[in-house]
Amino acid sequence: MIRENSIKLSSSFAVASKVKDYSQLMKFNLTFMVVFSSVVGYLLVPGVEFSLIKVLTLFAGGLLVSGSANTINQLLEKETDKLMARTAVRPLPSGRLSETEGIIIAVVTGITGLAILAWGFNWLCAGLSLLSLVVYGFVYTPWKKWNSLAVLVGAVPGALPLLIGWAAGENKISEGGWALFAIQFLWQFPHFWAIAWIGHKDYTRAGFKLLPNSGEPNRQIALQAVTYTLLLIPAGLIPYMLGITGYISAIAVILVSLFFLYRAVNLYRKCDVPAARKLMFGSYIYLTIMQLALLADKI
């Protein structure tokens, strides 16, 4: 009896470990944020009412496609991940999962996710999702070793979730979808640069080039971060001007944009890692409040 219980506990632990590794491979926390953006874009489409089934379908499809893209990213960066303290413990570089397992997961989740989006919504939504997967997995990922324009390339799939959600609800891309895409596209730059500033030594060791100009953290980069956060103020008002959302959300977006700008200016003033970390967390606060404000004040 004791031996049987030990075997059961051992099997349960092994299954739980596998599930945890698969979750890390697909970067579940990051994927959740990506899919949430898609849901927001979908619900902001004029005439679209909340449907739990539709939301869950979009969530499931987006989760699988985004998870596939993240798995491809880790497959291609297995060797470089070994060089960075933050990523050396991931399932592939640590040897807990094999490359074959990773490839199977990437293929199965990618195909299944695209099929769900095409079946549950439309081919435009699925096509944009495929574009996001390809650009992130096969263009942005290797580009990081070439030059800092990788951030520009990565900003496209990073901003596509809102557009994907819009396409799911409208079956076309109108100015409202492009407005949401523009906001999240501009947001990517101070967000990415703050992360690259914090992990500069690790990224340099792995051969990644994510910071512009000389590639070293400096005041010029901080000034560019300030510029992009400034641009977010007028960009954030476009949904209001298009009649998608009301004036309350416009005020909320302006206020959170000013907060984000303050964090960017603080990085310019101090040019240190603590200020970059505050900017990074500020970017998450901005994105969350911006999306929730627009959703809550939809006309």
pLDDT digits (tens, 9 = 90+) for 163-207: 999 999 999 999 999 999 999 999 999 999 999 999 998 898 888
Using CB atoms within 10 Å of the CB of residue 185, give its burial: 0 to 12 exposed, 13 to 18 middle, 19+ buried. Answer: buried
Residue showing tokens 């303290």: 85
Q: What are the boundaries of each domain within the chain? A: 19-173, 174-299
Which of 217, 159, 222 has the alpha carbon at shortest distance from 187?
Answer: 159
Going from the C-alpha of 206 to that of each of 81, 135, 148, 193, 203, the distances in angstroms are 7, 21, 14, 17, 5
pLDDT digits 0-9 by tens, 211-233: 987 778 999 999 999 999 999 99
Average pLDDT for residues 62-86, to the nearest whole number?
A: 92
Q: What is the pTM of this model?
A: 0.92
287's CB contacts (< 8 A; 6+ apart) are 33, 37, 184, 187, 191
Give the CATH superfamily of 19-173. Answer: UbiA prenyltransferase (1.10.357.140)
Q: Which two tokens stand for residue 65?
A: 């496609």
Using CB atoms within 10 Å of the CB of residue 84, give its burial: 0 to 12 exposed, 13 to 18 middle, 19+ buried. Answer: buried
232 touches 257 (CB < 8 A): yes
pLDDT digits 0-9 by tens, 16-65: 777 888 888 888 888 888 899 999 999 999 999 999 999 999 999 999 99
232 touches 187 (CB < 8 A): yes
Query: What are φ and ψ of residue 145, in 5° steps?
Result: -90, -10
